[in-house]
Amino acid sequence: MDLASLKSVRAAADIPAPESPTPDWDGYASDFRAGVPLLESSKVAMDLLPPEDAVRSLIARLVSSPLPDPMAQQCRALAAELDSGGEPVEHRGLFRYLAWMVMVRHLGSIVTAFDGWRNEDHWLRNYCPTCGEPPAMAQLIGKDPGRLRKLSCGCCKTRWQYRRTGCPFCDDQDEHRLAVVTVEGEALRIDYCDTCSGYLKTYDGEGGESVLLADWTSLHLDLIALLHAELEVVGDAGELGAFVGGDEGVGDAFAAHAAGAADAMDVVVAEARDVVVDDV
């Protein structure tokens, strides 16, 4: 999805999404302690019919909107899939994106209330306490020695506390198997696990979370992480040009490519502020 399509979708998504009533926290407490996410708990009554209707209204609005191709074609195909009574197959990713766009609004007050109710020390888990999804990004808050690490859900936008070190995917606690890859001038870095090859883009700072914790505004870091999986970083993990087992020119070319991608993304991030700054 290009930036023009994203802006059009965000504008069309500005439709009423009734907020869900606050759950009975006392009734949910035992499931919370057992590690059951809020939306997966049988003890929480959640009416999903209003957001379901809102998603269908959003898709109908997109079909009638002057969207650029191929986004317009994909929306029409998705609408046809839903009208046939079946589950989205060909455009499942688009449906998921649009559904969560609506659900974020529907769950907004619940996520806020949940943040205030739960004891963070009782949920140091690697999946979202609200919806159960794995983290999309992370954030380091405060100053050493008491810095906090929070994981950020890319679906419902919940942020929750996690252990300061360790891989949130395979739970490896061996610091020698964990690497930090930084790009000069970036507020974001990559926390990479050599054990499972999982990585997490991490915002090292505070302020501007609506942009810096929006997963799609840092796609150049995903490229860096994928290349890092093929090349072993030695010495300072922040030196992107230092590789072993290959031609020195490979490291130089990679560093130049990463820097170029970061420069290009500066423009995207600047424009993205107009798209996502009001979402959080």
User: 229-272 pLDDT, tens per residue?
Assistant: 654 433 233 333 333 233 343 334 434 444 444 444 444 444 44
Alpha helices, DSSP H, located in 64-194: 71-83, 92-106, 108-117
Greatest mean pLDDT range, 32-36, 79-83, 181-185, 242-246: 32-36
Query: Rounded mean pLDDT of 124-151?
Result: 90
Which sign, positive or negative, has the C-alpha torsion 82, 84, 87, 93? Answer: negative
Compute the mean pLDDT over every residue in the chain, rounded to the nearest whole number: 77
Structure tokens at 237: 């993990």
Structure tokens at 267: 């423009």
DSSP 243: B
Reported as a single tens digit per residue, the pLDDT across 89-122 is: 888 888 998 898 888 888 889 999 999 999 999 9
Confidence of residue 39 (pLDDT cuts 50, 70, 90): very high
Q: In this model, does residue 81 exceed pLDDT 50? A: yes
Q: In this model, does residue 8 exceed pLDDT 90? A: no
Strands 135-141 and 199-204, sheet pairing:
parallel
Q: In this model, does residue 279 exceed pLDDT 90? A: no
Query: Rounded mean pLDDT of 170-196?
Result: 83
CA angle (162, 139, 132) in 5-degree steps: 50
Whole-number pLDDT of residue 237: 32
pTM assigned to the model = 0.74
Whole-number pLDDT of residue 14: 65
Greatest mean pLDDT range, 8-22, 167-181, 215-229: 167-181
Confidence of residue 216 (pLDDT cuts 50, 70, 90): low
Distance CA 264, CA 279 (A): 23
User: Token pair 């590690």 is at which residue?
Assistant: 35
Confidence of residue 197 (pLDDT cuts 50, 70, 90): confident
